[in-house]
Amino acid sequence: MINWLNNLSDTQQFAIFTAVKAFVAFNVMMGIVTYVVLAERRVCAFIQDRIGPNRVGPFGLVQPFADAVKSFFKEEFTPAHVRKIYFILAPAIALMPAILNLAVIPFGSKLGHQPMVLANLNVGILYTFGIVSLGVYSIVLAGYAANSKYPFLGGIRSSAQMISYEISMGMSVIPIFMLVGSLNLNDVISYQTGALWHWLVFKQPLAFAIFLGAAFAETNRTPFDLPEAEQELAGGYNIEYSSIKFALFFMGEYANMILASAMMVTLFFGGWTLPWFGLDQPAATLGVGLAHIVIFLAKVCVFLFGFIWVRWMWPRFRYDQLMNLGWCQFLPLALANIVVTAVILWLKTK
């Protein structure tokens, strides 16, 4: 096998290794999606003093597979009044932004000679925000295609919400790249090596706070879940969907949570680095390379737990409060942070 690989050209080897990494990364993300759903149900049960799912497999660990079988075999019903082309297209788009953005996230240093990133783009952050902005189309199309008032209201809310908070999210990361001097996510991680206080969350706490709040809004999670708002919109934009189409929206939400968590880990918490035991430098051995991947996934899981905990502990904002927070507080603070960072960097050059 090794001899066969050595006989291939560099381009062929690159294509094969990239395909393998993409396949593994996609399946790991989908695996995390399934078990984050189970974790949310168990955390919800704990907060509400219930038991939660514990019948399918030991400790309920096989429950996600039972849910998947149920989703595939439920009746797939398309109401007669919907706009069918858009109705089918919307859930197909729901999962795509998270999958495409997975390509530029450095989820480790190296395994052997292979960097643990699918596409090491010099403009990785611009690519990420460009793809994230496409996520709104899925919800807007779903609301429009349903041809019903509650989904339509959910789609309108989501479009206004996601567009508003994308601006704050984009502005919040500009000071990061002013400090690092690069738009490459690997360079951002390299900047944070050496010591714990090199992590950018300590140098840019305001940027992290704004990015965190915007991440909740971008993923339509409580306290920013007005596009779904079960109590008033009966589920919002996805109310007319069933079976696998509904499951795609469901998976898209949790995949976007994983992406947002991975971005926060990369930008503010050192990515795959850990400033102890020498685990903040690129891998020299296979074991260190695997340890870096485990460290990255562990940090992501901490943020995922935060997403889940907030959902069951915080009330939902009113719509006017949501828009006021985005335009009148997050955006001015993000702009002020850019100016202050620029002034500090300018003074350091004097």
The pLDDT tens digits for 254-286 are 999 999 999 999 999 999 998 877 788 888 788
Nearest of 186, 199, 184, 209 to residue 268 by alpha carbon: 199
Average pLDDT rounded to a whole number, residues 234-248 = 83
Instruction: Give buried/exposed letters for 234-264 (b at 16+ CB in 10 A, else e).
Output: ebbbbbbbbbebbbbbbbbbbbbbbbbbbbb
Task: Give the H or E element holding residue 114.
Answer: strand 114-115
Q: What was the pLDDT predicted at 5? A: 64
Taking 70 as the threshold, does the pLDDT of residue 212 lie above it? yes
Are the CB atoms for 244 and 76 separated by under 8 Å?
A: yes
pTM score = 0.93
Split at pLDDT 50, 70, 90, the class of 241 is confident
Are the CB atoms for 110 and 282 separated by under 8 Å?
A: yes
Split at pLDDT 50, 70, 90, the class of 339 is very high
Query: Which three-class secondary structure state does DSSP give residue 29?
Result: helix
Q: CA–CA distance from 37 to each of 141, 189, 199, 310 (Å)?
A: 25, 29, 30, 15
In whole angstroms, what is the distance from residue 173 CA to residue 263 CA? 11
Average pLDDT rounded to a whole number, residues 169-185 = 93
Nearest of 181, 156, 168 to residue 218 by alpha carbon: 168
Beta bridge partners of 111: 114
Residue extents of the structural domains in the chain: 73-349
How far does Cα 317 stand from its chain's mean position?
22
DSSP code, position 82: S
Q: What was the pLDDT predicted at 233? A: 65
Q: How far apart are the two ends of the chain, measured CA to CA in Å?
A: 58
Length of the chain: 350
* Helix 205-218 and helix 149-180, axial crossing angle in degrees, nearest 10: 160
Locus of tokens 């994230």: 132
